[in-house]
């Protein structure tokens, strides 16, 4: 029933409307929006660079808040790219990833290209809840050589939807980032969701425009833990590795940006 109702909703219209409200710098709009959100989700600003709600010019400015320098330590060969909960992880066999206990999907449909780079490798999916820190980082030192913003649906990406809707992450709009690392190819996919006002990478001043596919070739070195982009509301990050890795986190475990996720 939950997924059925989502199919009926004008998801893009609702998301863009929320996006417009979230960008408003009018105190009568932003202040109640921020206060209600903090109360409902019990937001703790102790780690935030700006700890007072009044310091934020808009709800989006608050939602994508940065951390105080030094509050997180980058550890391990591969660190978590974001705060969130491990929704799924495991091996990539026959170019197939697990979405939930009921559903799976292919590397090709996620990345929108046929590639054997990740067959036999590993993947991890991290779900960002509304209360989480919403900037996304690079989990290991790597060279970003291609990105592709793919328009799509805006279904919720919570566990309930993941268990009910086949191909959820391949249907939603997303930003695919392809990297070269010392251990082989890596992909980091930022998946949009309902009420997400946009996916904004660090190389753009604003979020990608909806419904317009954009592919960019580049050569940019990221150090481990360096910021890649931000979600202007909650969503999901999927990491694909060409090599088998041994994860030191488990499905259902809460993770924080910077902590090691591989042994």
Catalytic residues: 83, 137, 235
Q: How far apart are CA 187 and CA 147, in angstroms?
A: 10
Nearest to 192 by CA among 19, 5, 8: 19
Helix spans in the chain (H): 2-8, 11-23, 27-41, 59-63, 107-111, 159-164, 168-171
- In the chain, what is the straight-line distance between the N-terminal and C-terminal CA atoms, in Å? 40
Any bridge partners for residue 177, and if so which? Answer: 147, 188
Taking the CA atoms of 10, 12, 13 and 15 in sequence, report the sign of the dihedral they define: positive
Q: How far apart are CA 176 and CA 128, in angstroms?
A: 17
Contact 243/122 with Cβ under 8 angstroms? yes
**Token pair 């979020």 is at which residue?**
207
């Amino acid at each position: 029933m939950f997924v059925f109702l989502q199919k009926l909703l004008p998801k893009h219209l609702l998301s863009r409307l929320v996006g417009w409200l979230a960008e408003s710098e009018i105190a009568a709009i932003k202040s109640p929006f921020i206060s209600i959100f903090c109360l409902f989700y019990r937001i703790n600003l102790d780690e935030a660079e700006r700890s007072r709600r009044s310091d934020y010019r808009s709800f989006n400015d608050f939602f994508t808040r940065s951390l105080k320098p030094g509050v997180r330590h980058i550890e391990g060969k591969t660190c978590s790219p974001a705060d969130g909960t491990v929704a799924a992880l495991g091996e990539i066999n026959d170019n197939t990833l697990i979405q939930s206990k009921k559903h799976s999907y292919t590397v090709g449909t996620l990345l929108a290209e046929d590639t054997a780079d990740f067959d036999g490798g590993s993947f991890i999916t991290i779900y960002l809840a509304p209360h989480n820190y919403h900037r996304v980082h690079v989990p290991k030192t790597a060279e970003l050589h291609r990105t592709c913003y793919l328009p799509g649906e805006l279904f919720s990406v919570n566990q309930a939807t993941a268990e009910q809707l086949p191909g959820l992450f391949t249907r939603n709009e997303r930003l695919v980032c392809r990297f070269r690392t010392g251990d082989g190819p890596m992909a980091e996919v930022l998946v949009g969701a309902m009420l997400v006002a946009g996916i904004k990478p660090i190389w753009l001043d604003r979020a990608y425009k909806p419904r317009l596919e954009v592919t960019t070739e580049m050569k940019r070195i990221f150090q481990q833990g360096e910021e890649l982009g931000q979600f202007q509301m909650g969503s999901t990050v999927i990491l694909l590795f060409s090599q088998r890795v041994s994860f030191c986190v488990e499905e259902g475990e809460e993770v924080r940006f910077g902590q090691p996720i591989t042994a």
